[in-house]
Amino acid sequence: MAATRRPTLADVAREVGVSAKTVSRVLNEDGPSSPETRARVLDAVARLGFQPNLMARNIRVGGPDTTVGLVVPNLGNPFFGTVAGGIEDAIRERGLTLLMGSSAEDAGRERQLTDTFLARRVSVLMVVPSVDADHGHLKSQRAAGLPVVFLDRPGSGIAADCVVSDNRAGTREGVAHLLGKGHRRIGFIGDIPPKLYTRRERLAGYRDALVHAQLPYDKALVVGTHDEAGAAEAVRRLLALPEPPTALFAANNIVALGAVGELARTGRAHDVALVAFDDLPLAGVLDPGLTVVAQNPAELGRAAARTALARLDGDRSRARTVTVGTELVARGSGELGV
């Protein structure tokens, strides 16, 4: 089948017997046009299956493209998927489209993606920063009027808007929940690398709770890992300590999966208390139900979109950080005796 050339404005104009500009006027409801020409133009458009070339339009108009560039670590993680959904909800009504890519937490890939997005002249750039990424190169873009929003974690080397969960307060609340049940030795299983923003904040919340309860910080109770198997191993190590913890705090959903699994396999699920950061689908069905500090990823996305749209509307105030609250959802696993 021959690759027929797509019809252009000129084709439609020729078909109708008017100038290209007239067709453009009708389609964009720019300037006036007689009802009759209007009808004939629309008819020809439908007949030819004409679709205006948005790229050509954008290049002429000169403004940014009607896209929002979004970089996340991993598209398959429902947390980031839901964030993206929240963003899309908020930008759709403004006629903006989402351009997405995943960095796999790699600074180089992140840079490559943001460069591509910049070359596409996105209207807004949103990034979940990778650990070692530097964002100094975005300064000039921001200066030139491009809204830049960091999601889930702050960017580095640049003052830009940022939307994050209240990791510290959320963790403090989760750990306080365990302390309230009488636990005095609480293990913390966190991310790797320790310098990851969310890990740092959550660990800070853990320490806050200990300080408030006038308990010492014992670094033997703090372990870092980055996958499910590692988390299982971490649980084993913690419970094998001379003075083992009676409760555990799993600082993210991956680690939580590993911890829940290990406790279940070793028959200690009703024996060791557990609270996790970030909710999971079957959390309420487990026995005992998994108590979590739930984040609000959709709201994270919506807040980021709101911030960016305000910038597009001319808001030139200084960069701000929006903190989205978390919610402790008690389902039982945090209420086991010491």
Partner DNA sequence: CTGAAAGCGCTAACAT
Partner DNA sequence: ATGTTAGCGCTTTCAG
Which residues lie across from 72 on neighbouring strands? 102
CA separation (Å) from 141 to 106, 121, 127, 198, 303?
Answer: 22, 10, 14, 26, 21
Among DNA, a copy of itself, none, the one that 20 touches (CB under a kind-dependent 5 to 8 A) is DNA
Q: Which does 22 bind (CB under 5 to 8 A by kind): DNA, a copy of itself, none?
A: DNA
Of residues 158 and 213, the one with the C-beta less far from a copy of itself:
158
323, containing H or E segment: strand 321-324
Return the range that interacts with a copy of itself (CB under 8 A); candidates 56-64, 152-160, 193-201, 240-248.
56-64
Nearest distance, CB of residue 75 and a copy of itself, angstroms: 4
226 neighbors 258 (Cβ within 8 angstroms): no
How many other C-beta atoms are found inside a 10 Å radius of the C-beta of residue 14? Answer: 15
Q: Distance between alpha carbon 71 and the CA centroid of its chain, in Å? A: 8
**C-alpha distances out from residue 185 to 175, 179, 222, 223, 276, Å:** 11, 9, 11, 14, 16
CB of 18 to DNA, least distance (A): 3
Tokens, residue 46: 């439908």
Strand pairing report for 327-329 and 291-294: antiparallel
Should residue 39 be labelled a site residue for a copy of itself when binding is judged by CB under 8 A?
A: no
For residues 68 to 97, the per-residue mask of contacts with a copy of itself, x marking binding by CB under 8 A and - elsewhere, is ------xxxxx-xxx-xx--x---x----x
Residue 25 interacting partner from a copy of itself, DNA, none (CB closer than 5 to 8 Å by kind): DNA
H/E element, 273: strand 273-277
125-154 positions binding a copy of itself, by CB under 8 A: 137, 140, 143-145
Nearer to a copy of itself by Cβ, of 209 and 329: the residue is 329
In the complex with a copy of itself, the residue whose CB is nearer, 60 or 219, is 60
121 binding partner (options a copy of itself, DNA, none; Cβ < 5 to 8 Å by kind)? a copy of itself
d(CA 250, CA 263): 12
Q: Give the integer Cα–Cα distance in Å for 130 and 244.
A: 34
Q: How far apart are CA 319 and CA 308, in angstroms?
A: 11
Q: Scanning residues 19 to 78, which ones bind DNA (CB under 7 A)?
A: 19-22, 24-25, 27-28, 30-34, 36-38, 52-53, 56-57, 59-62
Residue matched to tokens 């990823």:
297
Residue with tokens 């320790």: 194
98 sits near a copy of itself (criterion: CB under 8 A): yes
The interface mask with a copy of itself, positions 241-260, x = CB under 8 A, is ----------------x--x
One of 284, 310, 320, 337 touching a copy of itself (CB under 8 A): 284
**Partner touching 81 among DNA, a copy of itself, none, CB below 5 to 8 Å by kind:** a copy of itself
> Residue from 8, 74, 97, 116 that binds DNA (CB under 7 A)?
8
Residues in the interface with a copy of itself (CB under 8 A) total 60
* Nearest-10 crossing angle of helices 78-92, 297-312: 40
Q: What is the DSSP string of 80-136?
A: HHHHHHHHHHHHHTTT-EEEEEE-TT-HHHHHHHHHHHHHTT-SEEEE---TT---G
Binding site for a copy of itself (CB under 8 A): 1, 3-6, 49, 51-56, 58-59, 65, 67, 74-78, 80-82, 84-85, 88, 92, 97-102, 115-116, 118-121, 137, 140, 143-145, 257, 260-261, 264, 280-287, 297-298, 316
